[in-house]
A and B are shown apart, each in its own frame.
Chain A
Amino acid sequence: MTELTQARTEERIREEAKKALASGEVRAVVGWCATRFDDRTRPFFAETAEECDLLVWNPYCINGTAKFALDDRYPDQKLALILRGCDSRAVNRMLRDKQLKRENLYLIGVVCDGKENPICEECQHKTPLVYDVLIGEPAKEQIYPERFRKIEEFEKLSPDERYAYWAAQYDKCIHCYACRNACPACNCIECYADQYRVGWQGKAADREQNQIYGLTRAFHVGDRCIECGECERVCPMHLPIMRQTRKMLKDINELFGSYEGGLSEEETPALGGFRLDDPDEFM
């Protein structure tokens, strides 16, 4: 996208944000604002028309906006979200999981041009899939043919090498739950990891508890993952978290048919249903 259209998009975002606030139905508009670093933005709640002028649109708008809607599950007023393709899938995810109500959201979709985030290279849906108003021309859906390439390469290693790789990764994990907090599919009101009296999850940040956490989380979100890459982006230890969930997605694609999470509000996640003719291969 050229400099001009980027500036124009930003202008349109501010216009739409002001319009939304002026309607009186919307409490705040969630977008991004500048920070003191040129190459950083941060999530920003614009609550007045003046604050709308602080909203920005540039290649550094990388934080997901959708999950902020979960902070207030029963709001009095609508919340407006500025959505890129991935955020719109996150909204679909949370709508499907019955965590949000569509009437509590006002969605300003923006056709995304890819951000300074490695995951954006793999993006297949740059145009938001759900919105009330769309800024920009709908882009053609892209196919990323190498979606599972890394997984396939990893599968070629021997079992001991694979175990050693993951053990080394889980040794690094500091058990901060940042991946869970950022993930739009991790939308349970109370996470199993916080139910400490049940004892599912130990609190120690050692390999054993990290393995339980990593694999359980992979299994919980694996069939609903929208591949937004938020988990890897927020991980302070740079763990390849999506390699676990993508493995689940790859198997779901192989076993139960083509599947991508968050494409619509009506989809059924793979583990939320079944077919009578599912493969019976290991029985």
Chain B
Amino acid sequence: MSIKKDAAWEPRILAFCCNWCTYTGADLAGLNRMKYPENVRVIRVPCSSKVNPQFILRAFQKGADGVLVCGCHPGDCHYSTGNYYTRRRFLLMQRLLQYNGIDPKRFQARWISGSEAAKFRDTVTEVSAQIKALGPNTKFVGAHYDNAAYQAAKEGGENG
């Protein structure tokens, strides 16, 4: 990618967190005063299987550089089976996005339980570093959303 990387550029990452595990885990990370990159925006969802594949497409269109879906470990779902559906759905979704030209690192799913505050911190740090290395997302970005990286790529005649 030939976009000039601004040193001050920080990725925008959207994290869908399940209410019963990951959101509690993130809460615990806060209680324990853990530090993690602030470029993650958390959205609380009742279950990771609530996340519709369209949420992810829409997130990319509205300027997210990465999307993270987090839920309970298999077997721990508050609703018994929700995360099994999540697992199938996003395995396919990640491959479909990859097929359409999106780097699989930009869309990831993880299992983080309510007591794994450190895992939440590590995951967020890791994903944030990966996406920072990839640079701004220029694919699937809506033309009229205010996204400097996208505009720059478009003016440069890139695949915008």
Contacts and interface: CB of A to CB of B under 8 A. Distances in A.
A164 B94 CA distance: 18
Contacts of B103: 159
Interface in B61-105: 61, 74, 81, 84-85, 87-96, 98-104
B96 A271 contact: no
User: Which 10 A-B pairs rank lowest in CB-CB distance, beginning with the nearest?
Assistant: A163-B101, A274-B84, A162-B101, A208-B142, A159-B101, A251-B95, A247-B99, A219-B53, A164-B159, A163-B139
Contacts of A247: 95-96, 99
Nearest to B61: A208
A219 B91 contact: no
Interface of A is mostly: helix
Which of the four size classes fits the interface of chain A? Answer: 35 or more
Which of the four size classes fits the interface of chain B? Answer: 35 or more
B74 to A, nearest CB: 7
A270 B84 CA distance: 12
Contact of A271 (B92, B98, B142, B143): B92
Interface in A203-218: 206-208, 211-212, 215-216, 218
B34 interface: no
A271 B88 CA distance: 7
B125 to A, nearest CB: 17
A105 B99 CA distance: 39
A216 B57 contact: yes
Given A283-B110, A283-B111, A159 B102 contact: yes
A82 B85 CA distance: 37
19 contacts: A160-B101, A162-B101, A163-B159, A200-B54, A208-B143, A212-B58, A215-B57, A216-B57, A244-B100, A247-B95, A247-B99, A251-B92, A251-B95, A255-B92, A274-B87, A278-B87, A278-B91, A279-B91, A282-B109
